[in-house]
Amino acid sequence: MKKFTAIILVLTGLLLAGCAGEEQKAESAQKTLVMGTSADYKPFEYIDTANGREIIGFDIDIAKRVLDKMGYKLEIKNMDFNGLIAALNSNKVDFVMASMTPTEKRKKSVDFSDIYYVANDAIVSKKADNIKAVDDLKGKKLGIQLGSIQEETAEELKKEVEGMQVTARDTIPQLIQEMKAGRIDAAIVETTVSKGYLEKNEGLTEFIIEDESEVQGAAAAFPKGSDLTEQYNKHLQEMKQNGEIDELAKKWFGGE
Ligand code: ARG
């Protein structure tokens, strides 16, 4: 009898301990949302190398503020752009902010918030190479970031430009590096991002691609059917209306 009671007590104890653990977990999980990003995209998201390893940028500031209003803390997971949607769909991250464009194709596997920023694409190249229009890409090697919409734009261009090759890299800094080293002739980069590289590299130049079919907006991405999308959107809208987004754009893009 004594033994039996003891066992019951131990079991109850274990059960209670188990429950408390679960509850605690649920509580802390509720307080933090994990955001996936690809921190190779200054000024949207990049590693602040001057001050350590922290990831900063326009997207990060927006995410922090929206999550704050929603009552969550932000945790960031950095990865290659090409792996973001898979990370979202395998629950490795709760949402994604990576200056990601809400394309029809992506909408098949994830939900998007409203667009919070619109951009243009440019062809960046070395001044010395005299690439001033799409036609000048004949026989050239054009670089793009793997998994980006620029990849699709490049495939389209390939159809009209004779002998042009397309080559993909995981990150934007890699593309710029390869271009400087002469292994790539040009790269498609959004103007907001290319600006920083052009400022730092005297030898680089760009022209804007005019005839693009899809709007180049950035939006936050969520797993299909997530309740978070609507909450996120509500606060994003508020921030658009009360000038907070404009203020952040000024901070990161210098008043464009
Ligand atoms: N807007 C483009 C896209 O959605 C490029 C985004 C790249 N973002 C990044 N963090 N590298 O495909």
Task: Give the nearest ligand 1 atom to 45 CA.
Answer: 10
* Ligand 1: centre distance to CA 14 (Å): 48
Query: Domains in the chain, ordered, with CATH?
Result: 32-118+217-253 (3.40.190.10), 121-208 (3.40.190.10)
| pLDDT score at 33 | 97
Q: Which residues pair with 78 in a beta bridge?
A: 37
| pLDDT score at 119 | 85
| pLDDT score at 1 | 44
| pLDDT score at 213 | 61
> Is ligand 1 within 6 A of the CB of residue 148?
yes
In the numeric block, the tokens 């760009």 are attached to 206
> Is ligand 1 within 6 A of the CB of residue 66?
no
What values do phi and psi take at 99, rounded to 5? 55, 40
| pLDDT score at 192 | 94
Residue 158 is encoded by which pair of tokens?
């390939």
The residue among 98, 66, 71 whose CA lies nearest residue 84 is 98
| pLDDT score at 32 | 97
Query: How crowded is residue 233: how many other Cβ atoms within 10 Å of its Cβ?
Result: 19
Cα dihedral value 219, 108, 191, 93, nearest 10:
50
Helix (H) or strand (E) holding 57: none
Q: Which positions of the chain have pLDDT values less than 70?
A: 1-30, 211-215, 255-256
